[in-house]
Structure 1
Amino acid sequence: MIAMTDFHKEKADEALDILNTRGADALLLFPGADIGYYTGFSIGPSERLAAALIPFSGNPVLVVNQLEAELRGQKSWITDVDLWLEHEDPVEILAENFERLDLEDAVVAINEDAPWGWINRLIERLPKLFFVDATSYMSQIRMVKSQQELDWMRMACAITDKALEVGFGNLHTGLTERELAGILTSEIRSNGGGAGFVGVLFGERAALPHGRPGERELEPGDCVLVDLGTNVHGYSSDLTRTVFYGKPSTREAELYALVNEANQIAYKAVRPGVSCGELDSIARKVIDNGGCGEYFIHRLGHGIGLQVHERPYIVQGNELELEAGMTFTIEPGIYIVGEIGIRVEDTVVCTAGGCERLTRLTRELTFYPIKD
């Protein structure tokens, strides 16, 4: 297994090579997924400036507040950590590092995490700096996962599968959405999963794609939609299943079969060279042909890795072609307001020969007995 310091260094070198051919002299990263990916430093969002300055030639430096002194002990290929004190101007400290590295008039690549308040102040201090948006190039590198990254995602998905199976086993009349969310969260934590997310919706509330768990109590005949994820070493999982509390009606079973078919057909269509937009259209056609196209109101899926939602986005019009190692979700859904919502979501990886599901929980129509 490659040492993580080597992994981060290799990825940073890859980014620098791409950016340098496009005229950039340095890369400036602020807190977000990219700073961890390219440096190995774990830095959360804060009102205090934190930035990694990585020149094409010269020694990189991490500029952070003295409260983050513990970062010096983190495993990173960047060994120079410049701590600024509370009474100091952090922009001045960052500017001095630009000057020390002879980057006063450099072309500097930044990404979408860059806070423009800090960038504008840095420009005031060093007016010859020129900033370019490198988000697309840097995201392209992150889209293709290494074997180690995939192993971590498999672990996260396995924890999620198990937690949801346990959660569904606790269904009983009167259980609230929030109570089920608590059971799921506890199960994930007990199995080593990191902070993630949980969405639980019963009955007609399942028609809210981004609804949050509330005090709605489970009643016989309800559908139960759960959207669940965790992370291992920062790498995420994302799983949605819809089950029924009591035997579903014929209409409910037909709607579920339609959504599940769209999931399966899209899964079988995944292979290198297929565009993201084409994959969305393949699944959407299934829902359309079933007479429910108007109720499929979101894209088919999204990339996943260090962030739950990241590139590539599996949406109509996206001409980006899939490559082996890209991880994303397949999540067709039908949402009929005031009646029902059904979604079947898996985290998958495009392989050289097709596709692998990283989430493995059954997708078969499932209903649980009524328990008072």
Structure 2
Amino acid sequence: MNQSAPSPFTAADYRARMDRAALTASAAGLAGLLVSPGPDLVWLTGYRPTAMTERLTLLVLPVAGDPVLVVPKLECADAVKAPGAPSLDLRDWTDGVDPYGLVSPLVDAAGTFGVSDSTWALHLLALQGELPRAGFRALTEALPMLRAVKDEAELARLTAAGAAADATFEEIKKVAFAGRREADVAADLDRLLREFGHEQVDFTVVGSGPNGADPHHEADDRVIQHGDTVVLDFGGLMYGYGSDTTRTVQVGDPGEEVRRVHAVVREAQQAGFEAVRPGAACQDVDRAARRVIEDAGYGEYFIHRTGHGIGTTTHEPPYMIEGEQQELVPGMCFSIEPGVYLPGRFGVRIEDIVTVTQNGGVRLNNTDHGLTVVG
């Protein structure tokens, strides 16, 4: 693959995100956001601190006023290098000092705050003690669409990540499957994703034979046999944005039932894709895919939602599931991944990342949906 790295996000980009987040929070009736280390902090500031669960790092983003980053003093040198740091007022604290007391003067003590999902209970409970009149809501519940609609620069990164995952699949088809452990093939997937540009690999599911009936099977020492159906689900981060794709391959000639199940899943995946359009509800994508599988008699074996959002993490809102009435908006990106899992026998799943455009959906994964035969 020959592609140049995208231009880094600028301080102005991060400030625009923080401003937009504050406006969105105000419209939702929140007094502000409290954001701890995790994907929300990375998206808002570009800062990815060292994971220290016991020390408080917190972005305080009020709906009125400037954003403040409360950070341990020993982390300050890294925090000031973050791309979004020029827009932040850094308040450091040293060990032995109560950091939660730094937060209370910065916020409306009686307001309700959106709190990032990744906030440790240790810190949230301490903040509740410091702000007894305040209310707290998880960001996924309070502002589920905060990161859901991607701009052109984000879409470019997701497109590159999808292309790298596609290139990985084209190469993995060439390796030997029969006689090798699932863990060996998973290691090949990890290596290829990195060779094609991923800086982080999040998962490499290799589910062969009966293990394929476990949607999130961890590749193990099972030796792949001739005649096995193998589910391959893999992805990670490239330029800070996610990839996630699934294809099902067959070691040797597939039998009639495998062909039939695969054809049903392929039709369901296509039906879900065709349901993508601005104004449709997320649940419409799930319903379209699920209807095909139910009509074919395999409804009880489709045991998960049809899709999930993707961005700075590989799983985030919106979710393609019954009951989710959030409307699809151009710029949203999510998976469409129906599957059928026959316990003790085999599984089949086909997954693409799709983005919403004014004219419908566009796939970011474009490898063949057919049942690929491998050696």
TM-score (norm 1): 0.91
Shift of 1:298: 1.2
Give the letter for the 1:243 counterpart: V
* 8 Å CA contact 1:36, 1:43 repeated in 2: no
Q: What's the CA shift for 1:124?
A: 2.9
Offset of residue 159 of structure 1 = 1.3
Match status 1:68 vs 2:75: yes
Counterpart of 1:82 in structure 2 is 91
Partner of 2:337: 331
Matches within 5 A, 1:90-105: 90-92=99-101, 94-95=102-103, 98-99=104-105, 101=106, 103-105=108-110
Q: CA deviation at 1:2?
A: 9.0
Percent of pairs identical after alignment? 34
**5+ long unaligned stretches in structure 2:** 1-6
After TM superposition, list the pairs within 5 Å mapping 1:149-164 onto structure 2.
149-164=154-169
- Give the match for residue 279 of structure 1: 285
2:56 paired with 1:49: yes
Point out the more displaced range, 72-81 or 174-183. 72-81
Aligned partners of 2:225 and 2:347: how far apart in 1? 16
CA contact (8 A) 2:47 2:82 kept: yes
Per-residue deviation, 1:163: 1.4
SS in 1 for 2:347: strand
Per the TM alignment, residue 172 of structure 1 is displaced from its structure 2 partner at its CA by: 3.7
> 1:239 touches 1:359 (CA, 8 Å); kept in 2?
yes
| Root-mean-square deviation (Å) | 2.1
Q: How far, CA to CA, are the matches of 2:61 and 2:69 in structure 1?
A: 9
> After the TM superposition, which residues 138-157 of structure 1 pair with which residues of structure 2 at under 5 Å, given as runs?
138-157=143-162
CA offsets per residue over residues 284-342 of structure 1, 9 Å max, x none?
11111212112111111111111211111101121122111111111111100111100
TM-score when scaled to structure 2?
Answer: 0.91
Give the aligned partner of residue 365 of structure 2.
359
1:21 Cα deviation after fit: 3.9
Q: Which residue identity lines up with residue 75 of structure 2 in the other structure?
A: E
Distance in 2 separating the partners of 1:22 and 1:320 = 15
1:358 Cα offset (Å): 0.4
Whole-Å Cα distance in 1 between the matches of residues 159 and 145 of structure 2? Answer: 21
CA drift of 1:57 comes to 3.3
Runs (5+) with no aligned partner, structure 1: none
Structure 1's 109 and 339: CA in aligned 2 closer, same or farther, altered over 3 A?
closer
Q: Give the Cα–Cα distance (whole angstroms) in 2 for the partners of residues 16 and 148 of structure 1.
A: 21
Higher mean alpha-carbon deviation, 61-70 vs 151-160, is at 61-70
CA–CA distance in 1 between the matches of 2:284 and 2:113?
35
1:333-368 deviation per Cα after TM superposition (whole angstroms, max 9, x unaligned): 110011110000111111110111101111122112
SS for the counterpart of 1:254 is helix
After TM superposition, the structure 1 = structure 2 runs for residues 137-216 of structure 1, keeping only pairs within 5 Å, are 137-195=142-200, 196-216=202-222
2:114 to 98, 109, 118: 109
Amino acid at match of 2:118: D
Whether the 8 Å contact between 2:28 and 2:142 is mirrored in structure 1 is no
- Give the C-alpha shift of residue 128 in structure 1: 4.3
| TM superposition shift of 1:16 | 1.2
